[in-house]
A and B are shown apart, each in its own frame.
Chain A
Amino acid sequence: MINNIKDNVQRVIDQFDARQQGAVNSILDKWSSSDGEEFVFPIVDGPPGTGKTTVGTAALANYLLENPRGQVVYMCYTNFATAKAQESLYGLGLGLNQVVRLHANPKNVNWNKGLVGCTSDLSNLSYEDKRRLKECNILLCTLHGSGRASEARTARSHIVIDEFSQVSPPMFFHIIRRFRYKQPDGYALLGDPRQLPIISTQLMLRPNIGLFIMRRKPYQPHELVVQHRMHEDICDAVNSLRAALRTYPIKTGEDVKRRNLIEMGYKWAKKKITNKNMLEILDPEHPFVIVDTDQLKGAEKRAFGGSLKNVTEADLAVRIAKEFYDSYKKDSGQHLKPILLSPYSAQVSEISRKLPPELKGHCMTIYRSQGREYPCVIISFVRNNPQALIGFLKEPQLRAQTYVACSRAQGKLVVLYSRSTFIGHGHLDFEHLDSTRSAYNVKVRS
């Protein structure tokens, strides 16, 4: 079994570029440097698709191969992200007794799935359960659930925090406090400081822990620059947004440079489509399409909960999603199921209500989509008003939503917005997005 894990890890590491390998080798370094004068604190700055989680999990598996009794706590912001990391670790061959995910619901205990729900003091667990947790090498949990992990851990474990863009300094110090008596062996942060930010009403609380550290100390993080998720046209769009965020551009790995939906194994039944606009939108040769919804008769409306929706744009998004589903299919008969994203929860409800049964559950807020990737992404930006107001989409705190949404797509990205609202009014992100060289523009009529 150990050989199996060794082979899997080696195979993954061999595919890494030099920067990724450097990160793998250092994430689980101990905090004390050889001369004792410095504090070793690895921070990996990994933009979308550069394999932060893969690097993190490969580093964990590698560490366990060298230290079979080593202990690590791997923390993410969401339960979804912890589940994904767990899946990745099992994929490398690690077993149920080595990797366990902690959950807030005490009723949710299933050792056969590596899932243990517990209270913060573990009081619902039997002595045996607690012992098993203490013996387990890797515990995965959310940041807010760090108390459980600290209770379940013996001394001297490593702490790895994923997606640190959502970790505020107070949250980081809260975690440090929780592990006060466990004396962690090392600390590492993984993430992209420009992705979804900390939500706070207070400016003072918005910088994430990565920025907090880098502003206090001269420090150069590990920068991952090659992405292996998006087609190069989509990566162009993401780089336009990164330029608006004033950060370095990322490169596209050779393996995904030309990987559109056809390269991903889907067949396109072009003949089924009669509408010219729809043909342009669905064409796999246009991996990045901007759909101008100005000509649609419709506008934004405030819905229950204060959120916004745009019914005509929702209708169009659903129509496009259905066409994708009907016209793209794999040889195995599997249909393409595009994912629909929106920054507004009311629009998500509106779209979800209209989606056909086969696409149910394929719509979510951009916030929930962080850390996920999909072959085809359709984004509905909703706003359509004569005052050209785009609300929180231009606020420094929340504008990263556009960047995060666009970088979820692998082979096809369709962006729906009203040009008259978003372009020509100094909305920097959208000006940059609109001027992307690879963008294919389509105007639709009602």
Chain B
Amino acid sequence: MSRTPLKRWARPRRDDLEETYPSGRPPFYPFPTVSNVVNAAFCPVAIYHDLLHGTYQDATSSPTWKMKGVGNLFHQYIASLKSSIATGKQDLTGIDRARQDFFYSFSRNYKPERDRDSCWNYYLEPWVYRKFEELRELRREANLLFEITISNAYVDFVSRGKKLTYPLLGICDEIDIDNKKIIDRTIKGKYNDDHPPLMKDYQLWLIWKIINSIPRSKLPDEVKNIDFDEFNLVVETPHKDFNIDKENSTFEELTHEAYAWIHDVAFERKSGYDVFQHKRCTRVNKVECGLQTYCFRRKPTFPESRSEMRRVFKDIYRPLFWDQMWNWHLFKYQLVMIAPSKLESLGLLSKGKKISSSNAKIEIEVPEVQADQLQAYSEVSLRRYTIIPFGNFFFGKRMGATLVERKGNKLVMEIPKKEFRMSEIILILPKSDVTIIESPPWYLSRNLQRSMFSLEFIGTKDPDKARKDSIVQILESLFGPKPLRREGGSSDQ
């Protein structure tokens, strides 16, 4: 794969950042996540599927749908176990205790149970065995941060001696401040591996690049004086730990190419041809990739109008992505490019004071006028918001919260039952409604992309079955020559 790097990455101008009625092709480039960049670096087809077809999986994820959510359970459990030990709520006396008392109560709502057991047997048990002594020695009040969202509009990368900056957002699995470690965990990997699982080293390196690029003045007070440049990067699999080298010119070059692909896929109608010219594997020469089911699907004979359907859909995928750029990528830019006071005046942020928190509920005091407006937003957002209980938009813990009650200018919100650090000032973001127009949440348009892409492959090769298949027939009538009629009884329309 090779792609000429871009000369610069266009970010929104001031006018765009405060745009109230956005429309058309965005005048700024996307604000990618670490997953987007890893996909683009891995294979251009992966980023094409990611941005335009709204794929669930990443190129580096497991290629099957088996044991869906197990990776998440693995991460959540380790975060919860370590937090509980660090806060003194749990004492780890043996492996059995980690499983019986802690894992089963922690994962009791996880279904199916078979997958839950597999998660323990295949991934957690080897990890707990390996880390048992380390866990026992974990001291009270250990300085651990889990699932921290990090974001910056200007992350430095060097290209042929020249420094270029790109925007990037990622989530860091764990930052162990006492032991100076930034950790990325995965359920992939085997006992006898000599290298970290595919692209995981690159993923962690990107996360470190973001953290390192955030100016100290923008970091929350709690971590302002920490030099993250000194931290070790560790990829943890259930079976092994891998230390990652921070100086890596291959990763630098890979990143420039990845951003060039992201730009081209986002804006160039003809990029599809280039993308498939540079694909990483073929039907007979496959590489390990989470998107194999997307790349190598068969297309049945019926509906016969599939090519017309694809033509129409192709014209829709990119506008759906641009819609996401206006609704979500612009929002990511706004959060790190606009001063918090301006964000407040634009209604994109409300700063609240924590009054109390218990039983997965938090009471937050906000200015009266903001309470009115947040409540008005709740009508369109199913009362759901994003809150940042610790940190800020550059470096902070983000989580979903549901408004359950309003008492004057105090809002009571329901939050996930988790151990996490909480500041006195809580930031509240209306999660889905970032414009004043009541638009559906951005992630729903990814669902639409995914469904349409999936429809491109439905059908049957049996003509009799096709005649009786109402989905095939509705597509034939909308995209093919089959006529439409408004009444079934007679044909005299």
- Chain A residues packing against B (C-beta within 8 Å): 22, 25-26, 29-43, 104-105, 123, 144, 168-171, 173-174, 176-180, 183-187, 199-205, 213, 216-217, 219-222, 303-307, 344-346, 348-349, 352-353, 365, 367-368, 391-392, 395, 398
Contact = CB atoms under 8 A, between A and B. Distances in A.
Given A39-B483, A199-B437, A391-B21, 9 more contacts: A41-B477, A173-B313, A180-B455, A201-B323, A201-B327, A203-B24, A304-B369, A304-B370, A306-B20
Interface in B194-232: none
Contacts of A104: 382
19 contacts: A26-B488, A29-B488, A33-B485, A40-B486, A41-B484, A170-B316, A174-B451, A176-B474, A177-B452, A180-B458, A199-B439, A203-B319, A204-B316, A216-B478, A217-B478, A220-B486, A306-B346, A391-B21, A392-B21
Select the residue from B439, B444, B470, B482 with max chain A CB neighbours within 10 A: B470
Interface of B: 18, 20-24, 111, 313, 315-316, 319-320, 322-323, 326-327, 344-347, 369-370, 372-373, 376-377, 379, 382, 436-440, 444-445, 447-449, 451-452, 454-455, 458, 467, 469-471, 473-479, 482-489, 491, 493
Contacts of A346: 373
Nearest to A22: B487
B454 A177 contact: yes
A288 to B, nearest CB: 27
A203 B315 CA distance: 12
Contacts of B440: 144, 199
Given A180-B458, A365-B438, A349 B322 contact: no
A30 B471 CA distance: 13
Contacts of A204: 315-316, 319
Given A201-B22, A349-B373, A183 B451 contact: no
Contact of A348 (B376, B449, B455, B493): B376
A105 B383 CA distance: 11
B10 to A, nearest CB: 17
Nearest to A302: B345
A429 B326 CA distance: 28
Contacts of B315: 204
B487 A202 contact: no
List the 5 closest A-B pairs by CB distance, nearest first: A305-B347, A29-B488, A39-B477, A202-B319, A174-B451
B447 A174 contact: yes
A108 to B, nearest CB: 11
Contacts of B488: 26, 29-30, 32-34, 40
Interface of B is mostly: helix
Contacts of B436: 305-307, 344-345
Nearest to A365: B438
A102 B445 CA distance: 22
B56 to A, nearest CB: 13
A266 B319 CA distance: 51
A391 B436 CA distance: 12
Contacts of B449: 170
Nearest to B383: A105
A38 B471 contact: no
A245 B302 CA distance: 40
A202 B451 contact: no
B323 A200 contact: yes
B484 A184 contact: no
A169 B440 CA distance: 15
Contacts of A395: 21
B206 to A, nearest CB: 29
Contacts of B474: 31, 39, 41, 176, 187
A55 B125 CA distance: 60
Given A176-B455, A178-B451, A205 B320 contact: yes
Contacts of A36: 467
Contacts of A32: 470, 473, 488
